[in-house]
Amino acid sequence: MADRPGPVTGPDGGLEERLADLAESGRRRAVPPAAERIRARGEQRVRRRRAALASGGALLVAAVALGGLSLVRTARDPEPPAVHPTATASRFVPPAPAPGEEYAEELAHVYGAVVRGDTVRVTVEPLRAVRGTATPAGEAHTLTLPRGTPVEARRLSGGEPADVRLDELLDRLTGDRKWAFVIDYDGEGRVHSLREAYWLAD
């Protein structure tokens, strides 16, 4: 019985196997298996999470540092003093001009002038004119006015009508006597001028 020829194991026979191995290796490199793709995606997620935590931590450190600086600055810098209103010592609301009018009027006794630099603080006691006589008509308040506030005077200027400045009348207004004035307020609640109400009996 003749022997069957065996498989070809020469140099050409191993070439086919090597080519098959190379082709399989190339496919693995071009398209990674499912397990490798899953592992690669997981590693990417881990890297992104670490980067996010690192950036978030940096932001947190920066926020804490800024907050600490603001607290240190607040502790070092004293708070500015509270600004107290100087126009009134009560809940007085300046009268508003009527429609078509430039000023609103307040009839009042003015007295107790106190000089404070370029301003004069006076006490104002609202009045009501009843048959030529002045009678109290409300709660007293204070006004702080520029020393150059214009004043129309008559008795205060010696009996003759005269336009003077408030600081020219300080010697009269600092005494105990109360002088009747009409105070003119503009639309923003500022005092424009004072007019002596000389026609009223004190």
Going by the DSSP 8-state scheme, the letter that residue 97 receives in this structure is P
Going by the DSSP 8-state scheme, the letter that residue 106 receives in this structure is E
Q: What percent of the chain has pLDDT over 70?
A: 59
Question: Which pLDDT band, with edges at 50, 70 and 90, does 78 fall under?
Answer: low
pLDDT digits 0-9 by tens, 101-143: 999 999 999 999 999 999 999 999 999 998 888 899 989 999 9
pLDDT digits 0-9 by tens, 133-178: 889 998 999 999 999 999 999 999 888 899 999 999 999 999 888 9
Q: Which residue has the tokens 């600086």?
A: 69
In angstroms, rounded to a whole number, what is the distance separating the alpha carbons of residues 111 and 123? 5
* Other beta carbons less than 10 A from residue 114's beta carbon: 14
Query: Is the confidence at residue 11, as pLDDT, over 60?
Result: no
- Sign for the pseudo-dihedral over CA of 107, 110, 164, 191: negative
CB 148 within 8 A of CB 165: yes
Q: Which of 160, 161, 183, 2 is nearest to 107 (CA)?
A: 183
Beta-sheet strands, E only, within the chain? 104-116, 119-130, 133-136, 141-146, 150-153, 162-165, 179-185, 191-196
Write the single-letter amino acid at 127. Answer: L
CB 196 within 8 A of CB 127: no
Structure tokens at 141: 């308040």
Structure tokens at 106: 């307040």
Q: Which residue has the tokens 């509270």?
A: 82
In angstroms, rounded to a whole number, what is the distance separating the alpha carbons of residues 154 and 199? 10
Domain ranges of the chain: 11-76, 104-196
What is the mean predicted confidence (pLDDT) over 84-109? 80
pLDDT of 169: 95
In angstroms, rounded to a whole number, what is the distance separating the alpha carbons of residues 192 and 149? 7
Going by the DSSP 8-state scheme, the letter that residue 177 receives in this structure is -
Q: Which of 178, 202, 185 is nearest to 124 (CA)?
A: 178
Return all residues near 87 (Cβ < 8 A) that are at least 6 apart: 94, 142, 143, 144, 189
Please state which of the ranges 21-25, 42-46, 158-162 shows the lowest mean pLDDT.
Answer: 42-46
Whole-prediction pTM: 0.55
Please state which of the ranges 20-24, 80-84, 88-92, 193-197 shows the lowest mean pLDDT.
Answer: 80-84
